Amino acid sequence: MFIHSFRYSLLQFFRNKTQVFWNLFFPIALATMFHFAFAGLSADEKFDPIPTAVVLKHDSAASASHESPPESDYSLYQNSFRETIDALNEPGDDRLFDAVYTTEEEALSLLEKKEIIGILYEDDPVRLSISAEMTNMKLEQSILNTFVEEYCMYFETIADIASDNPERLPAVIESLSKDVGYIRETSYSDGSMDEMLTYFFNLIAMTCLYAFMGGLQAALQSQANLSALGTRKGISPVPKLLSACGSLLSALVFHFSALCLLLLYLIFALKINFGSEGGFIFFTALIGCIAGISFGFFIGSLGKMNENIKYSLLMAFSMFCSFFSGLMVGNMRILVDQVCPWFNHINPAALITDSFYALSICQSHTRYFENILVLFILSALCCFGGVMMVRRKKYDAL
C-alpha cells in the first residue's frame, strides 16, 4: 500500500504544472537571469586603468596634437610629472592610467561627456579636476586624488629635508627611488571570492524551501477535513502514517530530482564553480529539500486553515527566510549576524546557504556539519510535530 501511495503521489507531482514550474522552470530561469545580470559583479570590482586627461602647462598647440611635448622646456618637477604619467600609462598589470594628453577645453568637454574620470593639470602643485556628477565613479576619483596627493607630498617632503638636512638629500632620493614592496598579499582560503556565488547559493536555498509545496500537499491530502482526496483516503483501510509516508517520500523524490536538474544546469550549463566537493553539494540539496518538505508538512497539519492560506503562509515564510539569507541583498547574512546572530543559526535558508559557503571557502568541514545538524533537527521537529497533529483524528461529520 505504501508503494501504491508513493507511486500515485509521484505521478500527481509530475503532472502538476504549477509545481513543475515553481520548482524547476522558475529556478532555472532565475539562475539564467542571475548568470547574465551578475556576470559583471566581479568585473566591476576589478581594477581597470582610469581614463584620465592630462593637461600640460606650456602651450596648447603641442597638447592638442595628443602627443607628449618636447622635454627641453621643462623643469625637474614638470619632467618628473610627465615621466610618472607615462610610466603609469604603460600597458601591464601596474597600469594606473588610460591617459590622453590634451588641451584644457577638450579635457573639460571629455569630462562633461563622462568619457574620462578626471583631469590632471601639470601645475605647481599638480591639480586634479573631477566631475561632481560622476558620483558612481567615486573610487576611481579617490584613486586619482591619492595619486596627486602622493605626488605633491614627495616633492614637499624632499623640499623640507633639503632645507633642514641638505647633507641627507642623496640618501632621501635613494630611498625614494627604491622600489619597495611594503605589503604582502595573503588569503585565508583558496575558495572563490566571487560575490555572484552568494546569489546562486541563495537561489538553491530558496528552491529547497519551495519543497514545502510537496509537504503541504502530503499533509492536506491526509486530512479528511481539508481535501476531498483526504476524505477518500480517510475511509480507506490504509494506515494514515503509511499513506503520509508514501506521499512525503514521493515529494522528496520529485523535489530532489528538480534540485538535481537545477544543480546540473548550474554546474554544466552556466559553469558555476561550487568547488570540488560535488557529493556534499548534492547532499546539502537533499537535506535542504527534506527541511522544505518538513516545514510544508508541519504547517499543512496545523489547524483548519484552507490550502490557500497555508500556501500563502509558507510562501511568505520561504521568501522571508530567503531575504534574510541574502537572496535579494547579497551581504544580508553578515548584517543579520551583527544585529541578531542567533537568527542565522535557525533560519533554514541561511543554514543551507552557509553550508554551501562552508564547502566552498572553509578548510575544515566542522561548520558545514554544524549547519547540516541544525537543519536535520529542525526537519525532525517539524515532521514529528506534523505527525502528532494528524494522527488519530476522527470526524463525526464533514
Partner 1 sequence: MMLFNSFFKIAKKRLPSLSIYFFIYVFISILLGTSSQKNIEANFQSKSLNICVIDEDNSKASAALTRYLGSIHNLKPLENNPDTLQDHLYYRDISYICTITKGFEEKLLSGESDEVYTCVKIPGSATGYFVDLQISQYTKLLTLFLSGGSSMPEAIEKTDPIISNTAGTESIVFQADTDAVRKEVFFHYQYLPYIFIVIFICGLAPLVITFHEKNIAARTNCSSTSLGSQNIQIVICCILYSLVVWLLFFLIGVFIYKTEMFHANALFAMLNSFAALLIAAALAFFISNFSINFNTANMISNILGLGLAFLCGVFVPQDMLSESVLKIARFLPSYWYIKANNMLGGLSSEAFSLSSFWKAFGIQLLFAAALVSAALALSRLNRQRKQ
Q: Which is nearer to partner 1, 198 or 217 (CB)?
A: 198
Sites for partner 1 among residues 69-108 (CB under 8 A): 108
Per DSSP, the three-state class of 101 is: strand
172 contributes a contact to partner 1 by CB under 8 A: yes
Count of alpha carbons within 13 angstroms of residue 385, beta-carbon side: 17
Sites for partner 1 among residues 248-307 (CB under 8 A): none
The least CB distance from residue 244 to partner 1, in Å, is 26
190 contributes a contact to partner 1 by CB under 8 A: no
Sites for partner 1 among residues 136-165 (CB under 8 A): 136-143, 145-150, 152-154, 156-158, 160-161, 164-165
d(CA 379, CA 101): 66
196 contributes a contact to partner 1 by CB under 8 A: no
Size of the site for partner 1 (CB under 8 A): 90
Least Cα distance to 81 among 56, 110, 105, 102 occurs for 56
The least CB distance from residue 386 to partner 1, in Å, is 26
Q: Are 222 and 247 in contact (CB under 8 A)?
A: yes
Cβ neighbours of 207 (radius 10 Å): 29
Q: Which is nearer to partner 1, 243 or 353 (CB)?
A: 353
Residue 52 is inside which H or E element, if any? strand 50-55
185 contributes a contact to partner 1 by CB under 8 A: yes
Per DSSP, the three-state class of 208 is: helix
4 contributes a contact to partner 1 by CB under 8 A: no
Residues near 276 by Cβ (< 8 Å), separated by ≥ 6? Answer: none
124 contributes a contact to partner 1 by CB under 8 A: no
d(CA 250, CA 13): 8
The least CB distance from residue 237 to partner 1, in Å, is 35
- Out of 57, 125, 245, 277, the residue judged to bind partner 1 by CB under 8 A: 125
Sites for partner 1 among residues 359-388 (CB under 8 A): 361-362, 367
